[in-house]
Amino acid sequence: MSEPTAYHQQAPPVCPRHPDRVSYVRCQRCGRPTCPECQRSAAVGVQCVDCVKAQAASTPSATTVFGGRVSGRPVVTIGIIALCVAVWIGQQADSRLTSDIWFIPALGQDEPWRFITSAFAHSPGQVMHILFNMFALWLVGGQYLEPLLGHVRYAVLYLLCAVGGSVMLLLLAQPPSGPVLTWQDLGSWGTPAVGASGAVFGLFGALIVLNRKLGRSSAWMWATIVINGVLGFVVPNVAWQAHLGGFVTGVAVAFVLASTQERSRRRWQWPGLAAVAVLLVAAAFAKYAVAPDLGVTFAVGG
């Protein structure tokens, strides 16, 4: 007489990430059950979220021709524009903000942050100043250079050009040789400057160098530079020195990027950019080293 055989029911498959969820769908790569929340569409069937992450980590990220990571939206340009607009609005609310962040050669040694903060401020009473700079920044930076270089390299280019504009303004300023009783006695040594135009001119210079490397025409950019260069000498209160400094710095940064474009040379890219920064700092130190210590203690604009 045969004995009855016990019936053992197999436990239903559950998602490893969510053990409380039964799933009869399995990942096409690892074969594990995967619940609807952990499923990702694949070329054939579905994959679990863990396999998708592992595949993404093992796949080399696409890079631009100059080594930057390929990205979508120009978030750095958008951030710069947003910051400039926010600062400009703050300048309307408090006039002291302008004098707190503009660049003046006489103050740069003791307040070095002005070398870069001045590039995010604009003339509070001239809306066309900020509009033109932001429009040029969006066209040249956001639509061309940032996608070409990637976020990080583009941000470094912009910041170095901003500093370069202030440094050139410092180098071409003449310290007063006589007694200084009022701020006006400082002459060009006490002339303030604000605006992103120095950094924007740096983007102009970088575009020309990079386009030449890529075999592209920059005729339209040369025309833009000539027109704006002439306006810098015709329109009053335009810091052409900052334009020149930004342009030269942009050319130098772009030369480093273009010279290290090949993968075998990219290890020299960041040391080259650091060398540009060191040269800017050294130039500023050299200028202050030979300038007399005026001991200016009166208020700005006083």
Q: How confident is the model at residue 302 (pLDDT cuts 50, 70, 90)?
A: very low
Q: At what angle do helices 240-259 and 219-234 cross, to 10 degrees?
A: 160
Identify the weakest region by mean pLDDT among 3-7, 68-72, 202-206, 255-259.
Answer: 3-7
Identify the weakest region by mean pLDDT among 28-37, 108-117, 140-149, 293-302.
Answer: 293-302
Average of per-residue pLDDT across 92-110: 92
Higher pLDDT, 189 or 251: 251
Report the percentage of the chain scoring pLDDT > 90.
Answer: 51
Q: Which of 13-22, 135-144, 220-229 has the highest mean pLDDT?
A: 135-144
pLDDT of residue 188: 82
Neighbours of 197 (CB within 10 A): 26
Instruction: Decide if pLDDT at 301 tops 60.
Output: no
Answer yes or no: are the C-beta atoms of 214 and 65 closer than 8 Å.
yes
Radius of gyration for the alpha carbons in the chain, expressed in angstroms and rounded: 28
Answer yes or no: are the C-beta atoms of 47 and 27 closer than 8 Å.
yes
pLDDT of residue 58: 64
Beta strand spans in the chain (E): 39-41, 46-48
Answer yes or no: are the C-beta atoms of 130 and 197 closer than 8 Å.
no
Average of per-residue pLDDT across 89-109: 92
Instruction: Decide if pLDDT at 133 tops 90.
Output: yes
For the entire predicted model, the pTM comes to 0.76
The number of angstroms, rounded, from the C-alpha of 231 to the middle of its chain's C-alpha atoms is 26
What is the rounded distance in angstroms from the CA atom of residue 148 to the CA atom of residue 162?
A: 20
The residues, ordered by sequence, that sit 6+ positions from 152 with a Cβ below 8 Å of its Cβ are 68, 69
Q: How many CA atoms lie within 13 A of 85 on its CB side?
A: 11
Query: Which domains are delineated in the chain?
Result: 13-59 (no CATH), 75-290 (1.20.1540.10)
Answer yes or no: are the C-beta atoms of 145 and 206 closer than 8 Å.
yes
Q: What's the sign of the alpha-carbon dihedral 203, 208, 209, 215?
A: positive
What's the burial of 261, exposed, middle or buried (CB within 10 Å: 0-12/13-18/19+)?
A: middle
What's the burial of 155, exposed, middle or buried (CB within 10 Å: 0-12/13-18/19+)?
A: middle
Average of per-residue pLDDT across 95-107: 92
Answer yes or no: are the C-beta atoms of 100 and 109 closer than 8 Å.
no
What is the rounded distance in angstroms from the CA atom of residue 92 to the CA atom of residue 9?
A: 76
Average of per-residue pLDDT across 109-134: 93
Query: Mean pLDDT in the chain?
Result: 86
Q: What confidence tens digit (pLDDT) does each residue in 275-292 have?
A: 999 999 999 999 999 887
Amino acid identity, position 263: R
Q: How confident is the model at residue 265 (pLDDT cuts 50, 70, 90)?
A: confident
pLDDT of residue 298: 47
pLDDT of residue 105: 93
What is the rounded distance in angstroms from the CA atom of residue 7 to the CA atom of residue 157?
A: 73
Answer yes or no: are the C-beta atoms of 164 and 244 closer than 8 Å.
no
pLDDT of residue 299: 47
Amino acid identity, position 286: A
Burial string for 177-191 (b: 16+ CB within 10 Å, else e) reads eeebeebeebbbbbb
β partners of residue 152: none
Instruction: Decide if pLDDT at 5 tops 80.
Output: no
Instruction: Decide if pLDDT at 145 tops 70.
Output: yes
Answer yes or no: are the C-beta atoms of 154 and 68 closer than 8 Å.
yes
